[in-house]
């Protein structure tokens, strides 16, 4: 998929390939708690409580101090599982039975507080979850599907047939046909804000059914952590509770702190999903700066749930400064990994340049001189089709603004001529002579 992480290892799945299970039922084989808190993670989190780690202290102080938690069912049920304090488990159940509870939190409370439910409460929550699964999905949005998957796994063995039908629908139709089909057709249908709901869904499925969704499209998941990392703006956003790294977005306005928090949570969940891959090892290196630890009532439960401070990481300075994905026509370039770096992003039709602490939203049709970003030249082809550039030994040259999937002729120094094709975003990546000033032009065939 173009310029990606040079140190990457082959993606090895510990789940069962979907193709091998094409005719097998999607069966849940685990006991409660079966959602996200499997024995290995429970042991880690309980050790964190015994050691009174900073993440545990922050999470526990918020919950026991009565801080208004944006997701009270999730937070109180998690605290109950780790501390064993039934009062907080009962609080979680009370919330799950209230009109304010969303399907995801109802499923987590049902699963994590199973041994505290009275017969009436168990019947009521079972009925609520079953009714939700009986309704038409209504939306293919990742977060909505995630809620239905958690509900189906939680309900397994409690009601007949419906949970298994829902899981098979999600795996065989929503994922294998709609999502993977779109990805293979060059449509990037997984938005940046979908990352955490997707990885939470993937954790739940693999841990309870042994199905690893990555098997459907390994290349996409191999690149995902590195694209997620390099698509952050260089600037650090200072909020009241902690500092945030902010992911690239086409939305105008101030950074969305909740999205920034969930971006970090997604990275933590990616590392937990595959601790051995080189891609997630550099992501762990990216995560190991204490100033970015989530301390807010929204973020602290997730930080405690997913972080593993004992997992070693690799320095993200090993990651190339260029990420080009021709399958989806996306390009991210940084001048360095320092906070004062210049950054360029072209994604989902948006073109942005971050320099001198400011973000500029560029017009893809613009007429502008070439931009140099340390190891890359960016040339804009809507109004100009010939350039003369001092190309250094490590430089890559990208021409943007061409017609997607069209073949073009490239003439170099009025001598050499060759044909090459623009990618799905109308980007040409050119390998030009190094160590000298090179003139070239783009010609339509």
At 188-207, the pLDDT tens digits run: 999 999 999 999 999 999 99
What pLDDT does residue 244 have? 96
What pLDDT does residue 207 have? 97
Statement to judge: residues 268 and 379 lie in one domain: no
What pLDDT does residue 193 have? 94
What pLDDT does residue 415 have? 85
Statement to judge: residues 261 and 124 lie in one domain: yes
Residue 426 lies in a domain: yes
Taken in order 197, 295, 103, 119, the sign of the CA dihedral is positive
- Token pair of 413, please? 């120094």
Statement to judge: residues 430 and 287 lie in one domain: no
At 384-440, the pLDDT tens digits run: 789 999 999 888 999 999 999 999 999 999 888 999 999 999 999 998 988 899 999
What pLDDT does residue 139 have? 87
Residue 261 lies in a domain: yes
pLDDT at 157 over 80: yes
Statement to judge: residues 127 and 37 lie in one domain: yes
What pLDDT does residue 211 have? 97
Domain boundary among 285, 316, 347: 316
At 135-153, the pLDDT tens digits run: 998 889 999 999 999 999 9
Residue 347 lies in a domain: no
Domain count, the chain: 2
CATH number at residue 430: 2.60.40
pLDDT at 164 over 90: yes
The residue range of the domain holding 264 is 24-316
Statement to judge: residues 200 and 93 lie in one domain: yes
Please tell me what DSSP assigns to residue 100: T
The percentage of the chain sitting over the pLDDT mark of 70, rounded to a whole number, equals 94
The percentage of the chain sitting over the pLDDT mark of 90, rounded to a whole number, equals 81
Statement to judge: residues 260 and 406 lie in one domain: no
Residue 65 lies in a domain: yes
Statement to judge: residues 137 and 241 lie in one domain: yes
What pLDDT does residue 369 have? 86
pLDDT at 272 over 70: yes
Residue 14 lies in a domain: no
At 12-29, the pLDDT tens digits run: 333 445 544 456 789 999
CATH number at residue 132: 1.50.10.100
Alpha-carbon gap, residue 250 to 346, rounded angstroms: 10
Statement to judge: residues 204 and 264 lie in one domain: yes
Q: Which helix (H) or strand (E) holds 437?
A: strand 436-443
> Terminus-to-terminus CA distance in the chain, angstroms?
25
Residue 335 lies in a domain: no
Residue 207 lies in a domain: yes
> pLDDT band at residue 365, thresholds of 50, 70 and 90?
low
Alpha-carbon gap, residue 296 to 299, rounded angstroms: 5
Please tell me what DSSP assigns to residue 113: T
Residue 238 lies in a domain: yes
In this prediction, residues 295-323 reach a mean pLDDT of: 95
């Amino acid at each position: 998929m173009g310029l990606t992480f040079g140190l990457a290892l082959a993606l090895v799945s510990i789940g069962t390939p979907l193709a091998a299970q094409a005719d097998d039922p999607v069966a849940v084989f685990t006991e409660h708690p079966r959602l996200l808190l499997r024995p290995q993670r429970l042991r880690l989190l309980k050790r964190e409580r015994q050691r009174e780690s900073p993440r545990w202290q922050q999470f526990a102080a918020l919950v026991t101090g009565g801080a208004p938690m944006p997701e009270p069912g999730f937070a109180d049920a998690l605290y109950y599982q780790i501390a064993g304090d039934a009062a907080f488990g009962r609080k979680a159940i009370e919330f799950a039975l209230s009109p304010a509870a969303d399907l995801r939190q109802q499923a987590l409370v049902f699963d994590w507080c199973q041994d505290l439910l009275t017969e009436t409460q168990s019947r009521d929550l079972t009925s609520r979850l079953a009714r939700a699964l009986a309704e038409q999905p209504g939306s293919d949005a990742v977060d909505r599907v995630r809620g239905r998957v958690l509900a189906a796994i939680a309900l397994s063995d409690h009601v007949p047939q419906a949970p298994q039908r829902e899981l098979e629908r999600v795996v065989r139709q929503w994922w294998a046909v709609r999502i993977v089909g779109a990805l293979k057709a060059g449509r990037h249908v997984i938005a940046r804000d979908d990352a955490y709901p997707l990885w939470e869904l993937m954790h739940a499925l693999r841990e309870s059914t042994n199905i690893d969704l990555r098997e459907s499209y390994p290349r996409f998941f191999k690149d995902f952590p590195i694209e997620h990392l390099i698509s952050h703006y260089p600037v650090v956003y200072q909020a009241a509770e902690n500092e945030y790294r902010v992911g690239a977005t086409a939305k105008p306005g101030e950074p969305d702190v909740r999205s920034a928090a969930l971006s970090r949570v997604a990275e933590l969940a990616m590392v937990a999903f595959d601790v051995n891959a080189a891609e997630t090892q550099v992501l762990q290196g990216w995560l190991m700066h204490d100033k970015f630890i989530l301390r807010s009532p929204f973020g602290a439960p997730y930080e405690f749930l997913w972080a593993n401070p004992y997992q070693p990481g690799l320095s993200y300075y090993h990651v190339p400064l260029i990420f080009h994905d021709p399958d989806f026509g996306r390009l991210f370039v940084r001048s360095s990994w320092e906070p004062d770096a210049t950054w360029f992003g072209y994604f989902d039709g948006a073109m942005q340049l971050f320099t001198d602490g400011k973000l500029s939203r560029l017009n893809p049709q613009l007429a502008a001189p070439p931009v140099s970003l340390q190891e890359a030249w960016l040339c804009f082809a809507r109004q100009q089709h010939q350039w003369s550039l001092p190309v250094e030994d490590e430089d890559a040259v990208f021409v943007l603004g061409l017609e997607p999937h069209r073949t073009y002729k490239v003439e170099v120094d009025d001598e050499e001529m060759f044909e090459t094709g623009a990618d799905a975003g109308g980007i040409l990546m050119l390998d030009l002579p190094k160590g000298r000033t090179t003139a070239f032009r783009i010609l339509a065939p």
